[in-house]
Amino acid sequence: MSAQPLAVNASAGHYDVVVVGAGFAGMYMLHRLRGLGFSARVYEQGSGVGGTWYWNRYPGARCDVESMQYSYSFSEELQQEWNWSERYAPQPEILQYANHVADRFDLRRDIQFDTKVERAGFDERNNLWQVATSDGKTVTARFVVLATGCLSNARKPDIKGLDRFKGEVYHTGHWPHQPVDFTGQRVGVIGTGSSGIQSVPVIAEQAKHLAVFQRTAQFSIPARNAKLTEDERNWFRANYPEIRTFAREQAKNGIYTELPDRGALDDGDNERRTKYEARWQRGGLTFMTVYNNLALDKAANDTAADFVRGKIAEIVKDAATAKLLTPISYPIGTKRICIDTDYFATFNRPNVTLVDIKTNPIEEITEIAVRSGGKDYELDALVLATGFDAMTGSVAKIDIRGRNGQTLNQKWAEGPRTYLGLMSADFPNLFVVTGPGSPSVLSNMIVSIEQHVDWISDCLSYMRDHRLATIEAEKDAEDKWVAHVNEVAFATLYPQADSWYMGANIPGKPRIFMPYIGGVGPYRQICNEVAARGYEGFAMTGEQQRHQAAAS
Ligand code: N01
């Protein structure tokens, strides 16, 4: 098939597709679009590629999914050639990989850096998106793909006096590009999610004193990070066909590992303990896949939670500190499980203090201290590891207007509504990569990114072949999908936690379980079947109708 660009004139600021974001999703989207002969422009607010890995440069940042799996699979040469150095690559290496991909596939010439997309409005008369950017320009595009990331809108907490603090304030999700040296400083870290838990042990080694302000204790599993040997790399490389297929089709979370064959209560106490111990020693996210019902059955979940609580008690020497670090208010895994290197042991250090801000919420931040429980913790620097306005936050920052001028923020005011996490009714030709309503953050992100990008690419090819002008989620299909996403979520223990999956970390954000928990394999199958049935649940209009509308 010859590539017939949809656009009339790409050089006049008119593209087949505008892609927002040059992280792992935006880069692969651009690569696929080019391969299909579509003209595309990517806008990226950062000065370089990498998205999450461009911004999150905090001490100790590395990926919780093993690098041999947290990598693109679309290019056999790439996956055979790239040398990951460690089981979990550190952030600089992942960023180096992103840059390598950008160079290897010559992506940069279609990416405009340091540019935010501020507005995108759908021109119903011409079926075109008008996209306005922070450099004051407006371009048009037939399609817009939001590859804005799920955890990219770093959230500064609303704490009285924060702006008054005279020392340096850092957010883990917006870390400076220059190395930060905490040597000799009194440092405070607010937040004990994945970012806090990764950074605390590293900061503790540098700082004169570290105060960790904890609102909710977290379950965390040791990473057991190590250098990768050539044999280990070669094993993955030789087995990639099987590993990638398994991750896409069989693993619920897109990670290659053995599948559980039973529930936690099907084993006796000793056997269960042995299995948990083996996974604890192995380290990493697969701890939660020892059994098949840890996310479903509270009694089963309690066995895993108790095991980890026991480990915390063993590691942390001071009993009162151990108790404070012990999560009790939600089932294990229902807030994103953390993966750490020496997190709990860090609290045995003489220069580290745990501050319980659940019992004694931060009253205010003064010029020199964080005040909690009437006590001033004097600090030279403050690290906010307080997370993100997840899944919808970065989309919400763009003024997106669909049919009848309705904004996406208005439509999503009660929570995001999508069909398959890919499109939202009344917003034609607007795709979201790993959006709410798709497995996304519950999975190995690169597996989900590649699936979405491939699906969108196939869809655009189909539209070109069938001379179609618009595609749009049907309201009825969207309603059914949203109901299904909720039904599946509420059959699990996940909604029992105040998590960012539920929007609970943002005051006033609607409490909706945002990702699709049905698993990447079943989800992929649903998406493929929808496409095979001629994009069932999506309304499409032809070129002819488009031209008639434009002429009338
Ligand atoms: O953010 P979080 P994160 N006052 O929202 C606390 C991915 N990730 O950046 O639990 C006081 O999880 C908040 O307390 P609570 C991963 O998917 C991946 O750590 O709401 N405290 C919590 O302790 C992860 O889940 C990797 O009570 C406040 C913390 O701040 C996601 O990103 C690495 C507060 C926020 O935790 C987000 O992780 C890092 C306030 N006003 C991140 N507001 C890897 O793969 C919030 N908190 C390695």
Q: Which residue has the tokens 């009285």?
A: 160
**Ligand 1 pocket member 418 (CB < 6 A):** no
Q: Does 508 reside within a domain?
A: yes
- Indicate the residue type of 205: E
Instruction: Print the SS3 string covering 271-298.
Output: HHHHHHHHHHHHCCHHHHHCCCCCCCCH
Spacing, Cα 293 to ligand 1 middle (Å): 25
- Smallest CA separation from ligand 1 atom 5, residue: 387
What average pLDDT does range 61-82 have in this prediction? 97
pLDDT tens digit sequence for 25-60: 999 999 999 999 999 999 999 999 999 999 999 999
Name the band, by pLDDT with cuts 50, 70 and 90, for residue 9: very low
Q: Which atom of ligand 1 is nearest to the CA of 339?
A: 48
Spacing, Cα 155 to ligand 1 middle (Å): 10
Residue 403, pLDDT > 50, answer: yes
Structure tokens belonging to residue 182 = 């905490």
Q: Does 313 reside within a domain?
A: no
371 and 481, same domain (yes or no)? no
Mutate to test the pocket of ligand 1, among 93, 335, 505 (most ligand atoms within 8 A of CB): 505
Q: How many domains does the chain have?
A: 2
Q: Does 306 reside within a domain?
A: no
**Ligand 1 pocket member 383 (CB < 6 A):** no
466 and 362, same domain (yes or no)? no
pLDDT tens digit sequence for 340-376: 999 999 999 999 999 999 999 999 999 999 999 999 9
Going by their DSSP bridges, the two strands 399-401 and 117-123 should be labelled as: parallel
Q: Does 519 reside within a domain?
A: yes
28 and 46, same domain (yes or no)? yes
Q: Which atom of ligand 1 is nearest to the CA of 505?
A: 20
Residue 10, pLDDT > 90, answer: no
394 and 374, same domain (yes or no)? no
End-of-domain residue from the set 356, 387, 418: 387
Nearest partner of 186 among 202, 204, 174, judged by Cα: 204
- Give 525's contacts (C-beta < 8 A, 6+ positions apart): none
Nearest partner of 537 among 551, 548, 526, judged by Cα: 526
Backbone angles phi, psi at 380, to 5 degrees: -95, -30
343 and 373, same domain (yes or no)? yes
Q: Which atom of ligand 1 is nearest to the CA of 191?
A: 30
Instruction: Print the SS3 string covering 233-269.
Output: HHHHHHHHHHHHHHHHHCCCCCCCCCCCCCCHHHCCH
CA distance 429 to 431: 6
CA distance 271 to 268: 5
Tell me how many degrees the CA angle 409-404-421 measures, rounded to the nearest 5.
45
Spacing, Cα 504 to ligand 1 middle (Å): 11
Are the beta carbons of 155 and 386 closer than 8 angstroms?
Answer: yes
**Ligand 1 pocket member 194 (CB < 6 A):** yes
88 and 141, same domain (yes or no)? yes
End-of-domain residue from the set 387, 419, 453: 387
**Ligand 1 pocket member 505 (CB < 6 A):** yes
What share of the chain in percent tops pLDDT 90? 95
Are the beta carbons of 63 and 94 closer than 8 angstroms?
Answer: yes
Mutate to test the pocket of ligand 1, among 215, 332, 363, 443 (most ligand atoms within 8 A of CB): 215
Backbone angles phi, psi at 518, to 5 degrees: -75, -5
Q: Does 382 reside within a domain?
A: yes
Structure tokens belonging to residue 241 = 């066909």
**Ligand 1 pocket member 149 (CB < 6 A):** no
Element (H, E) at 381: strand 381-384
Q: What is the CATH number of the domain that holds 149?
A: 3.50.50.60
Q: Does 226 reside within a domain?
A: no
Residue 5, pLDDT > 60, answer: no
Spacing, Cα 493 to ligand 1 middle (Å): 19
**Ligand 1 pocket member 450 (CB < 6 A):** no
Domain of residue 354, residue span: 155-218+335-387
Q: Which atom of ligand 1 is nearest to the CA of 441?
A: 17
pLDDT at 281: 98
369 and 496, same domain (yes or no)? no
pLDDT tens digit sequence for 194-229: 999 999 999 999 999 999 999 999 999 999 999 999
pLDDT at 219: 98
pLDDT at 8: 43
pLDDT at 6: 43
Residue 551, pLDDT > 70, answer: no
Q: What is the mean pLDDT of the chain?
A: 95
pLDDT at 12: 56
pLDDT at 545: 63
CA distance 437 to 422: 8
pLDDT tens digit sequence for 432-481: 999 999 999 999 999 999 999 999 999 999 999 999 999 999 999 999 99
355 and 495, same domain (yes or no)? no
Q: Does 405 reside within a domain?
A: yes
113 and 172, same domain (yes or no)? no
Q: How far, in Å, are 106, 123, 263 from residue 35 at the CA level?
A: 12, 27, 45
Residue 536, pLDDT > 60, answer: yes
Q: Which residue has the tokens 């450099």?
A: 135
**Ligand 1 pocket member 220 (CB < 6 A):** no
498 and 369, same domain (yes or no)? no
Name the band, by pLDDT with cuts 50, 70 and 90, for residue 543: confident
The 3-state DSSP class for residue 60 equals: coil
- Smallest CA separation from ligand 1 atom 16, residue: 194
**Ligand 1 pocket member 216 (CB < 6 A):** yes
164 and 54, same domain (yes or no)? no
Q: Which atom of ligand 1 is nearest to the CA of 215?
A: 27
pLDDT tens digit sequence for 272-300: 999 999 999 999 999 999 999 999 999 99
Q: Does 80 reside within a domain?
A: yes
Nearest partner of 222 among 66, 65, 342, judged by Cα: 342
**Ligand 1 pocket member 193 (CB < 6 A):** yes
140 and 180, same domain (yes or no)? no
pLDDT at 460: 98
CA distance 128 to 506: 34
